[in-house]
Every structure is written in structure tokens, then in C-alpha cells.
């Protein structure tokens, strides 16, 4: 076993944000540079790096941590009342438009599974939207609250639908629904048990005493919960991404008061964004074959077509916000909701493995996701600043 490929991947993970740091106004997310570097240096490009066993294992852990951190971002306490009803109505409209887009691309003979494309288009990247709104000072405003709630629902819905409809573990949809219900019951039971344990004065004292020592007890507990839910999801024939995402949601609900441990989440983000998550994105770039896109102009046209579909699918439901926040802010909200990449990468990999997506279409979808992270947040920030 060699770690040479992992070394080169770690260099890319280091250099991508460092180079962008010299151009702070570029607005380019480092994840875009990381995936692009993987494409250029991988088998589809210069063939300097290949995906071996260490990279495969760490990339899988990186995907789990990425979904875990995404679930951690969800604030369940805000998801209620009129805001929840408006967001659910918007997500329902998003699903309808996604299905229509999938049927349209199926009629054009661009996709093999219009349903997989519909689920992919319906997703939003909460992890990319949060920093944009925070930097703009809009995270607590009327527009920010709506966008964060909509992104939370869309990300959870995308993970759930991917796991339910396209699990690589096999089984019929009916069997998966039954397994999902049992899985949800077990998750609820674990959540209650963790919540009750957190109220124990004696256990709380131990946690506070050891949380910032080499024991890092809170971090170890979170990692154990993450891996446990991933294994549980696998055993029930569901996608591992669902287990990882739910683990993040549970930790976010139980650990909503961080006054006694303010550095806990920063430590989790350091593990994820500092090491494992970049490995996942760079490895995804290494496995992305753009030669089919470059070789065919008609195939290359699919990238802007998928990008336009993302914008329509998420932009039209944002019109529901016009009365509350105004036209300009609603357009910005639609742009932010159309920003999607992590779940697109995951869905593309699942589609290729199950022969539901050709490598060319998978590359086009990921390319559209990359462009959405480059274009939409910058345009949304400009609109929010003007409003």
C-alpha cells in the first residue's frame, strides 16, 4: 500500500485555498479549484494521480463527514409556522419542476433515468449557502432565514430521496420504505437517549473536564455517532449518506447550547474541511471523465442546459418570497437556492455505478454544479448588497 497519491491529493488540498487567498475578490470556492485540479492531474488529464485504496477509503469518510457537517448546519428550531409552510410549498414546486425537467431531458435522449436527474436537480448545497449569507450579513435577515430553511429542506429531501429510490444496496422501494421507517424509529430512540445522557450532571462534568484535553471526548462521541449511523444505514439497505446526514442533525439538535464548549464544532469542521472533505472532492475530480464532453460539442451543450434547469427549478419557487422580501431579494434567494454541488457529485457517482447516467452526462451535471457555485453566489451577493 502506497500513500504517494494521497500525498499529492493533500498538496492539492493545501494549494487550492492558498492560491485563492491571494485573490480574495475572485469569489471562487476552493472546492471548484480542487475538483478541477483532480480532473487535470487525474486519469482524464495528465495521469499523474490515480485513485487507489487509501484514497477510496478516505474519500468515503470525507463524503460521510461532508453530509454530517451539512446536517449539523440545520437549525430545526427555526423550521416552524408560516416559514415552514412556505418552504415546504416551495420545495413541492421544486420537485414538480425537477420532474418536468427530467422528462424533458429524457425526451431529448440525454438521460437514462429522468427520476434520478429530477432528484439531483432538486438539491441545494446548504454548506455553500451558509457562508455566503453570513458574509453578507443576511443569515439572520428575512431573506437569509427563508433561504437557509429552503436549503435545509432541499438538502434533506435530496439525501432522503437518493437513499430511498437509488440505494446501491438493492431491494424494492417497498422494502426500503419499511427499512426507512424502522431506521427513523431507531434514530429517534438514539436521539432521545443521547439527549437524556446529555442532561446527566455527572456525565456533563466528565465531558467538560475532558473535552479540551487529549481525550477530546465530545469529538470522539460525535465521530462514534457518525460512524454508527452510517453502519446502521448500511445494515438497513439505505445509502450511507443518509446515516451521516441524520447523525449531523441529531448532534445539532442535542447540542444546540454550546456555551460550555464553544470550540466543539470548530474541531469537527477542522477534521472535515481540513482533511477528509477535500480528499472527497479531489478524488471526485480524479474520477471525472471530461473527455466525452470535450470531444462532442453537442455533449458540451448539456452543461449550460443543466445549469439553466437548476436555475429554473430553484428560481421559480423563490417567487413565493416576493411579498415578504421584495423582487430583488427574491431573485438573490433563487440564485442561492440553485447553488448545488456536493449532492450532484454524489448523485452522479451513484448514477454511473447503477448505469443510470452515462459518464458524459455525469460530467455535464458536475460541470453545471461547478458553474453554479462560481456564478450564482456572486450574483446573489451583488443583488443583496444593492437591496
Q: Are 276 and 63 in contact (CB under 8 A)?
A: no
Alpha carbons 325 and 363: distance in angstroms, whole number: 36
Distance of CA 7 to the CA centre of its chain: 25
**What pLDDT sits at residue 91?**
93
Task: Name residue, grid cell 410549498.
Answer: 89
Average pLDDT, stretch 131-146?
77
**What pLDDT sits at residue 105?**
92
pLDDT for residue 95 is more than 90: yes
Average pLDDT, stretch 378-386?
82
DSSP 140: T
What share of the chain has pLDDT > 70, as a percent?
98
Interval 222-242: pLDDT, tens:
999 999 999 998 888 788 888
Phi first, then psi, for residue 340 (nearest 5°) are -150, 135
Average pLDDT, stretch 129-137?
75
Neighbours of 120 (CB within 10 A): 34
Alpha carbons 253 and 71: distance in angstroms, whole number: 10
Q: Residue 119 — pLDDT band, cuts 50, 70, 90?
A: very high
- Cell readout for 205 is 462534568
**What pLDDT sits at residue 168?**
67
Alpha carbons 166 and 57: distance in angstroms, whole number: 21
**What pLDDT sits at residue 267?**
94
Neighbouring residues of 200: CB distance < 8 A, sequence distance ≥ 6: none
- Whole-model pTM? 0.85
Task: Tell me the CB-side half-sphere exposure of residue 138, using CA atoms within 13 A.
Answer: 27
Alpha carbons 108 and 98: distance in angstroms, whole number: 15
Interval 28-46: pLDDT, tens:
778 888 888 998 999 888 8
Q: Residue 272 — pLDDT band, cuts 50, 70, 90?
A: very high
- Cell readout for 189 is 430512540
Alpha carbons 279 and 10: distance in angstroms, whole number: 7
In degrees to the nearest 10, what's the CA dihedral of 16, 131, 123, 376? -80
Average pLDDT, stretch 271-297?
86
Amino acid at each position: 500500500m502506497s500513500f504517494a497519491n494521497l500525498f499529492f491529493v493533500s498538496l492539492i488540498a493545501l494549494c487550492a485555498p492558498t492560491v485563492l487567498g491571494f485573490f480574495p475578490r475572485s469569489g471562487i470556492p476552493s472546492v471548484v479549484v480542487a475538483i478541477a485540479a483532480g480532473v487535470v492531474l487525474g486519469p482524464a488529464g495528465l495521469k499523474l494521480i490515480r485513485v487507489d485504496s487509501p484514497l477510496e477509503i478516505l474519500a468515503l469518510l470525507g463524503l460521510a463527514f461532508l453530509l454530517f457537517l451539512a446536517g449539523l448546519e440545520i437549525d430545526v428550531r427555526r423550521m416552524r409556522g408560516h416559514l415552514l409552510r412556505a418552504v415546504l410549498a416551495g420545495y413541492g414546486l421544486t420537485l414538480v419542476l425537477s420532474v418536468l425537467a427530467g422528462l424533458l431531458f429524457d425526451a431529448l435522449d440525454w438521460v437514462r433515468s429522468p427520476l434520478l436527474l429530477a432528484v439531483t436537480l432538486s438539491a441545494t448545497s446548504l454548506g455553500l449557502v451558509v457562508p455566503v449569507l453570513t458574509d453578507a450579513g443576511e443569515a439572520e435577515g428575512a431573506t437569509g432565514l427563508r433561504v437557509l430553511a429552503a436549503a435545509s429542506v432541499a438538502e434533506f429531501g435530496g439525501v432522503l430521496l437518493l437513499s430511498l429510490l437509488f440505494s446501491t444496496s438493492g431491494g424494492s422501494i417497498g422494502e426500503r420504505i419499511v427499512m426507512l421507517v424502522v431506521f427513523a424509529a431507531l434514530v429517534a430512540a438514539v436521539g432521545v437517549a443521547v439527549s437524556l445522557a446529555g442532561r446527566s450532571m455527572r456525565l456533563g462534568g466528565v465531558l467538560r473536564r475532558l473535552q479540551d484535553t487529549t481525550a477530546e471526548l465530545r469529538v470522539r462521541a460525535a465521530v462514534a455517532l457518525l460512524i454508527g449511523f452510517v453502519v446502521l444505514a448500511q445494515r438497513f439497505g439505505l445509502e450511507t449518506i443518509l446515516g451521516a446526514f441524520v447523525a449531523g442533525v441529531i448532534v445539532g439538535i442535542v447540542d444546540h447550547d454550546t456555551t460550555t464548549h464553544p470550540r466543539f464544532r470548530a474541531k469537527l469542521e477542522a477534521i472535515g474541511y481540513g482533511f477528509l472533505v477535500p480528499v472527497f472532492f479531489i478524488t471526485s475530480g480524479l474520477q471525472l471523465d471530461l473527455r466525452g464532453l470535450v470531444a462532442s460539442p453537442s455533449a458540451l451543450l448539456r452543461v449550460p442546459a443543466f445549469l439553466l434547469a437548476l436555475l429554473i427549478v430553484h428560481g421559480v419557487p423563490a417567487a413565493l418570497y416576493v411579498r415578504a422580501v421584495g423582487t430583488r431579494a427574491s431573485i438573490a434567494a433563487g440564485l442561492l437556492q440553485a447553488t448545488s454541488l456536493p449532492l450532484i457529485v454524489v448523485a452522479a457517482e451513484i448514477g454511473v455505478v447503477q448505469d443510470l447516467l452515462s459518464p458524459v452526462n455525469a460530467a455535464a451535471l458536475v460541470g453545471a454544479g461547478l458553474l453554479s457555485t462560481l456564478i450564482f453566489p456572486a450574483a446573489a451577493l451583488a443583488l443583496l448588497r444593492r437591496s
